[in-house]
Amino acid sequence: MSDQFKALILNQDGESFTREIKSIEKNFLKHGDVTVKVEYSGLNYKDALILKNGARLVKEFPHIPGIDFSGVVEESNHDNFKPGDEIILTGWRVGEIYFGGYSQYAKVNGDFLVKKPKGLSLKQSMIMGTAGFTALQCSLTTKTTREELLLGQKVQNVIVSGASGGVGSISVMVLNKLGCDVTAVTGKDSNADYLKSIGAKSVINTKELTKDARPLDKGLWDGAVDTVGGKVLENILSQTKDGGIVAACGNTADIKLNTTVMPFIIRGVKLWGINSVTASIKRRQFLWNEAEKLIDFEILEKSIKEINLDEVINIYPKMLKGETSGRYIINLKK
């Protein structure tokens, strides 16, 4: 292991908040029992919030952000991991209360790690990252949970909001792969062709879902993935057909949800919250194994922007303004 390595360090001193790429030493890493040579990390919406001001998620400074990463085990005091193992880390509040992946080396609790499936590369696992992992959770809930677990009717027409984002775009792709007709909701009309190229059958503007929602609107969707919350989610709930599952994971538009009981008691609509952060290791391993079958990396790789650690600092403000599309991955080998 190198004595000195690069990391992005956040610091807060009174009103001043700083983000700097620094050279640090191994003893700077203070949590966990497995040291990983990080190859890739992701830039997620939550990372952008943390990069801005800690987002009240970071409790101690200096801090290393980065809520997901993939890499190779360098040293381990955990029974399940040995040097050379290729691993994936998402969630568990790494990058928030524990140091994260914006560092060439990371030290984490081995209980948080998933062994990378053979069919995926370390790069592909971060092309997915937290966003892809969450999209798989959302899409399988919307489609498979309703059809197989709840023995419901076929899920055909589905809607995905925040469709150009990380979770949204991968949900569009996965639901299309699962045989659904996907309507993608985006605020960016210019992304319509891109969304169709990754599997959307039709594309509508977010504005169409920001009116005050009626308690029950015309039923249009057998299921939904919502990444934005607020009025968009309110409208999706009132447009969901009998027994449909609305998998809700995000709040890029609003944390508020002003709805009525009508979709739930008249149509049996299910609002299914998705939490990728503390999903069990068993569930994680299952979902990562599904990735190979459900994600078309050849298509996804075309829309991925690979950046280095320095570039993160310029890009995160654009993500917070909703000006970015698709997923950014950070190559820590650079």
Residues that bind ligand NAP (CB under 6 A): 44-46, 130-131, 134, 162-168, 186-188, 206, 227-228, 249-253, 274-277, 319, 322
Q: Which residues contact 16 (CB under 8 A, 6 or more apart)?
A: none
Task: Reduce the DSSP state of residue 109 to 3 states and report it.
Answer: coil
Q: Which is nearer to ligand NAP, 5 or 328 (CB)?
A: 328
Q: How far apart are CA 279 and CA 91, in angstroms?
A: 8
Look-up of token digits 């075309």: 302
Q: How far is the CB of 166 from ligand NAP (least distance, A)?
A: 4
Minimum distance of ligand NAP from residue 48's CB (angstroms): 7
Residue nearer to ligand NAP on the CB measure, 62 or 322: 322
> Among residues 25 and 301, whose Cβ is nearest to ligand NAP?
301
- For 48, half-sphere exposure in the C-beta direction (CA atoms, 13 angstrom radius) is 20
Tell the smallest beta-carbon distance from residue 106 to ligand NAP (Å): 19
Identify which of residues 18 and 275 has a Cβ nearer to ligand NAP in the complex. 275
Closest to ligand NAP by CB, 104 vs 134, is: 134
CB of 322 to ligand NAP, least distance (A): 4
122 CB neighbour count, 10 Å cutoff: 18
Nearest distance from C-beta of residue 46 to ligand NAP, angstroms: 5
- For residue 183, how many other CB atoms are within 10 A of its CB? 22
Q: Is the dihedral of CA 37, 40, 46, 52 positive or negative?
A: positive
- The separation between CA 306 and the C-alpha centre of its own chain, rounded to angstroms, equals 16
Cβ 150 vs Cβ 189: under 8 Å? no
Q: Nearest Cα to 101, choosing from 60, 73, 132, 70?
A: 70
CB of 229 to ligand NAP, least distance (A): 7
Pick the closer one to ligand NAP by CB: 131 or 213: 131
Per the CB < 8 A criterion, the answer to whether 70 and 94 are in contact is: no
Closest approach, Cβ 35 to ligand NAP, in A, equals 26
Select the residue whose beta carbon is closest to ligand NAP and give its number. Answer: 165
Least gap, CB of 111 to ligand NAP (angstroms):
18
- Rank residues 35 and 169 by Cβ distance to ligand NAP and give the closer one: 169
Q: Of the two residues 71 and 187, which places its CB atom closer to ligand NAP in the complex? A: 187
Q: Any idea what DSSP says for residue 155?
A: -
Percentages helix, strand, coil for the chain (3-state, rounded to 5) are: 35, 30, 35
Distance CA 174, CA 299 (A): 12
**3-class DSSP state for residue 98?**
strand
